[in-house]
Structure 1
Amino acid sequence: MSTQPKQAVVRRAEERDVPGLVECSAGLFAEDGGTRDPGGTNVNWPREHGAERFRQNLEVPERLLLVAEAGDQIVASLTGVLSGPSPMKPITTATLVSMYVKPEYRRGQIGSRLVAAFLAWAKEQQAARVDVTAYASNPDAIKFYERHGFATKSVILEAQL
């Protein structure tokens, strides 16, 4: 008998979701930065500082915290932020800062629903652009974001010292 994950509801995060946000953030840090940038990412940051940061960000109008909830657990999250306009960059940009879907819930359109909610929020905030950063060594993430209209704008080159 196979167990199919319950359908998830995507919604704005609330105070009660902070432990789930921390869990998703810890999963992202371990899976993405921890494997793709060893030594350059503090994989303990979410558990050490995440709860405080998420609580603060719940109150910031320029921040978006979304969760996907299945049953009584948070199975995915997305964080976004607005920046600008400024004299140097006279447009408002919405940045998809981070997104994580627990492995057993992937391929179920949860990520697409989170991105759609992020894009709707960005439009409501009158952002002229949206952007996201993905590791070059994560082709699945790059393909995912390309399917949602994101295109490569720049490349960051790095060398170890």
Structure 2
Amino acid sequence: MTGRQVIVRRARAEDIPGLVASSAGLFAEDGGTRDSSVNVDWPREHGARSFAAALDDPARLVLAVEHDGQVVGHLMGSLTGPTAKRPVTSATLVSIHVRPGHRRARAGDRLVEEFLDWARRQGAEHAEVTAYSANTDAVRFYERSGFAAMTVTLRQPL
């Protein structure tokens, strides 16, 4: 598959079912396999409302990856700040997923590039993303995109 076969664009309301399916894929592939506290049904139960709200919020970005008229991936980002504690505007890459069969088309790279361009245009001073430490493919992907570790969250099961 070549990069010309997929389109990265702003998501629209009619994309919501595909966005929910993409989010469900992310939960099943990533959080659901690495974190037993994640509700893998969240996209099915709450995803449509979450994406609909994000589409109407100027402080959030929703991108869709389209192939042959179908949504095969997504990215959701948001802006925060400035606040008294952190007096800068930050952009957070909240979620990203591309169906495995479409990953070689560089859709993930293009999603991140669009997100970073959007963040700069919105005046963000930095961008951040979280990834499970066990998801070494994701960590490498983000590092190739210029992200670097800043904090580490440690967890102890009780």
TM-score normalised by the shorter chain: which range applies? over 0.9
Counterpart amino acid of 2:23? S
SS at the partner of 1:43? coil
Report Cα offsets for 1:16-66 as digits up to 9, x if no partner.
Answer: 00001000000000110100002x100001001111111111101100000
The answer on 1:22 being equivalent to 2:20 is yes
Report Cα offsets for 1:102-152 as digits up to 9, x if no partner.
Answer: 010112210000000000000000100000000000000000000010000
- Runs of 4+ with deviation above 6 angstroms: none
- Normalising by structure 1, report the TM-score: 0.95
- Tell me the residue number matched to 2:115: 118
Higher helix share: 2
Unaligned runs of 5+ in 1: none
- Tell me the residue number matched to 1:54: 51
- Counterpart of 2:136 (choices 139, 148, 160) is 139
Task: For 1:49 and 1:126, locate their aligned partners in 2 and report how far apart those are by CA, in whole Å.
Answer: 30
- Tell me the residue number matched to 1:7: 5
Q: Higher RCO, 1 or 2 (CA under 8 Å, sep at least 6)?
A: 2
- Normalising by structure 2, report the TM-score: 0.97
- Counterpart of 1:42 (choices 14, 39, 43) is 39
- Tell me the residue number matched to 1:151: 148
SS at the partner of 2:84? coil
Identity of aligned residues (%): 54
Q: When the two structures are aligned, how many residues end up with a matched partner?
A: 157
- Tell me the residue number matched to 1:108: 105
Counterpart amino acid of 1:70? H
Counterpart amino acid of 1:48? E
